[in-house]
Amino acid sequence: MTDQTVTNHLQAALVDLVDLALQGKQAHWNIYGPHFRSVHLQLDEVIADLRTWSDTVAERMAAMGTPPDGRADTVASSSEVDKLDGGTLATDKVIRQFEDRLQAASDRMKATLEDLEADLLSQDIIIEVATGLDKHAWMFRAAAGD
C-alpha cells in the first residue's frame, strides 16, 4: 500500500514537469530577438532535464504501485505552472517567464519535503529535481542580468 500524500505530491510534481517541458518546446520553437541562439540552446538543456526528471518521478510512482498520469488533459487541468502565450515570444520575455516558472515549481516541490519524510526515496528524488530547477532558474536570472 502506498502513502497517498506522497503519491499526491509526486503526481503534482509530474504534471508540473511535463507542463514545463511542453512550454519549453513551445518557447524554443517561437522565440525571436537578441540572444536567440543562446536562449534557444538553453531551453534545449532545460527540456532535456525536465524530461529526465518527469520520467524519474513517474517511475518512482509506478514502483510504489501508483500509476502516474501524464496525459495531456490531466496536465492541462492540474498543473500549477502559469500558462504560456501562443505565437512568437521575445527572448527577454522567455528568459523572465522561465526563470519565474522554474523557480515557482521548485518552491512548490520544496514545500512538500516535510510530507515526503514518510518516503525518503521519493523525498530524495524531489530534492534532486528542486535543486536542478533552482539551478536552471538561476541561469535564466543570470541571462537577464539580475
Chain segment 11-45, per-residue pLDDT in tens: 999 999 999 999 999 999 999 998 999 999 999 99
Q: Is pLDDT above 50 for 1?
A: no
Q: Is pLDDT above 90 for 76?
A: yes
Judge whether 68 and 58 are in contact, CB under 8 Å. Answer: yes
- The candidate with the shortest Cα–Cα distance to 105, out of 124, 84, 132, is 132
Q: Give the domain extent around 123.
A: 4-80+87-144
DSSP conformation letters of 13-67: HHHHHHHHHHHHHHHHHHEESTTHHHHHHHHHHHHHHHHHHHHHHHHHHHHTT--
CATH number for the domain including 104?
A: 1.20.1260.10
Residue 91: Cβ within 10 Å count: 20
d(CA 71, CA 48): 19
Number of domains present in the structure of the chain: 1
Q: For residue range 99-143, what is the model confidence (pLDDT) as tens digits?
A: 999 999 999 999 999 999 989 999 999 999 999 999 999 999 998
